[in-house]
Structure 1
Amino acid sequence: MRMFAQAHQMPPRVAAGAFFLSSGLSKHNADRDTAQGLHGMAVGTYPFLRKQDPEVFTRLLSKAEIAMGVALLVPAVPSLLAGAALTGFAGGLLGLYLKTPGMRQESSLRPSPQGIQLAKDVWLLGIGLGLVLDELLHR
């Protein structure tokens, strides 16, 4: 495993990392209504989260997004590690898209107008897989 990101890996890492860092920071001081909305959507897809307090869930989500953003932005974090983490996180986000009613057009993977915000997370999955494959193929 290479110890530092390669120059060609940095543009997608910066794009995704800046997105995650911004998203995590915006949730850092979320109010109760925002926390309940985020938690409610997550519980619809991942019922095991029902036991989690909405505000605690949102704080943990904020910290996870900030950590993901920093891992992608810091070249010293190996791309295999950052890419694997991003792939897993993006898979969870796409689960919301696939399993939340109303996010897709009927009998299709194409997003509904409400689903576009979640459907765009496919690019995060692509970046994560690209980083992992780049590292595995260049060993």
Structure 2
Amino acid sequence: MKLHNIPTRLATGAFILNAGIKKWNLDAESAAGMQGMVSGTYPFLKDLDASTFGKLLSAGEIATGALLLAPFVPARVAGAALTAFSGSLLGMYLKTPGMREEGSLAPTQDGTALAKDVWMLGIGASLLMQAAGKGKKSSK
């Protein structure tokens, strides 16, 4: 892990890991509420049992957070995981009615909670770009 990646990987990884741990013991009603919102964008998830959905969501967040925090995980792997994770959240933002102002990408008050996750997409993309540029000489 590069020294300059530590702050972003630590902050993002800890945030996502904590969110996943908090979801591990979701009650069925809370899991069903999350599943209802998510399955509007990703319909294949609506057929899962709500408790199973909650565990899978939690496990996905825990795994993503752990990948970011583990110093032996290469930037491209951590970046790919974070980009996929944040991309799924932004997909919900873009496809869920009422999240954006009419005819705009600007969030409504309800959409702000998902729109703010664009920072994670930026970090994931930066990790991927760093990995892609590894070993290339500067043109200067």
- State the TM-score bracket (shorter-chain normalisation): over 0.9
Segments of 5+ residues of structure 2 without an aligned counterpart are: 136-140
Question: Shift of residue 112 of structure 1?
Answer: 0.3
Match of 1:122 in 2: 118
**Residue 22 of structure 1: which of 18, 25, 35 is its match?**
18
Segments of 5+ residues of structure 1 without an aligned counterpart are: none
What is the RMSD computed on CA atoms of the aligned residues? 0.7
**Residue 108 of structure 1: which of 104, 109, 118 is its match?**
104
Local SS of the residue matching 1:105:
coil
The structure in which a higher percent of residues are helix is: 1
Q: Please list, as runs of the form range in 1=range in 2, the aligned pairs for 1:11-50 lying within 5 A after superposition.
A: 11-50=7-46
**Residue 80 of structure 2: which of 65, 79, 84 is its match?**
84
Measure, in 2, the Cα distance between the counterparts of 1:16 and 1:54: 27
Match of 1:68 in 2: 64
Measure, in 2, the Cα distance between the counterparts of 1:68 and 1:20: 7
Q: Does 1:58 align with 2:54?
A: yes
Counterpart of 2:55, as a letter, is: R
% identity of equivalent residues = 53
TM-score, scaled to structure 1: 0.94
The higher relative CO (CA closer than 8 Å, separation ≥ 6) is in 1
Counterpart of 1:85, as a letter, is: A
Question: Shift of residue 51 of structure 1?
Answer: 1.1
Paired residue total: 135
Question: Shift of residue 50 of structure 1?
Answer: 1.5
TM-score, scaled to structure 2: 0.94
Counterpart of 1:127, as a letter, is: I
Local SS of the residue matching 1:111:
coil
